[in-house]
Amino acid sequence: MIHPTAIVEEGAQVGADCEIHAHAIITRHAVLGDRVVVHPFAVVGGDPQYLKFDRATASQVRLGNGTVIREHVTVNRSIHAGQATVIGENCFLMAGSHVAHDCVLGNNIVLANQALIAGHVTIGDNTFIGGAAAVHQFVRIGEGVMIGGLSRITRDLAHNLLVAERDEVSGLNVVGLKRRGVPREAIRELKQAFREVFGSPGNIRLVASEALARADAYKTPEARRFLEFFSAGKRSFARPSRTAGHEAESAD
């Protein structure tokens, strides 16, 4: 359904059973999956906020099935020809949030009100970003991460972390893991990996690599993905304070 006063430009691709509310704008650069809902005054597929951008560049925004875009959300298209800003399936972008050019968001992601995602950011599945949190460009955020409101994220965040303030890790997102039905053995190994990576002195990439090399120590895919995260990327990693690390060790 396309409501009166909504604008869907010629060339936009809109899937089955979508709802485009009044005053929403879907530009010709947008590709919407099925059952996408776009609320009033949102703009999907707008030009990137990049001073050197050539508006003749043919690029896109792609929204996955079941994603909901609330009021005044902006999702900008890629700065590169033939490429796209991508938001996965069943995501929920609350009012006033922003996703900049060339971001790639996974599935089941929630951006709370006024969350700001700068360009070239990647975010894993099942991640929650709190209200008015801001993420620096080129940051990698793993799956299952929970970021508190008003946080400032400038470093990479490994899978399943709890993060607040400025890159401050407070532990593992154990509640989220349990809600998603992650096995107890995997949670136990994740806690062990968390302690080893963040509690050991020296280069964090090397510590994680050495932990991975001990095949008998970490057998669950969740723990191994956590450790593998540290082998990629070019930015530094968010770490816990000593107090947060101690609390994480004793978490249920």
101 is catalytic: yes
C-alpha distance from residue 17 to each of 1, 14, 20, 37, 54 (Å): 7, 9, 10, 9, 33
Say if 226 falls within a structural domain: yes
Say if 128 falls within a structural domain: yes
Res 246 pLDDT > 90: no
Instruction: Determine which one of 45, 66, 119, 144 is catalytic.
Output: 119
Instruction: Determine which one of 45, 102, 167, 176 is catalytic.
Output: 102
The parent domain of residue 202 ranges over 177-249
The residue among 88, 122, 154 that closes a domain is 154
Say if 12 falls within a structural domain: yes
C-alpha distance from residue 12 to each of 25, 61, 171 (Å): 10, 10, 43
pTM tops 0.75, yes or no = yes
pLDDT digits (tens, 9 = 90+) for 48-93: 999 999 999 999 999 999 999 999 999 999 999 999 999 999 999 9
Give the Cα separation of 34 and 8 in Å (integer): 16
Residue 146, strand partner residues: 128, 162
pLDDT digits (tens, 9 = 90+) for 142-175: 999 999 999 999 999 999 999 999 999 999 999 9
Mean pLDDT along residues 117-124: 98
245 is catalytic: no
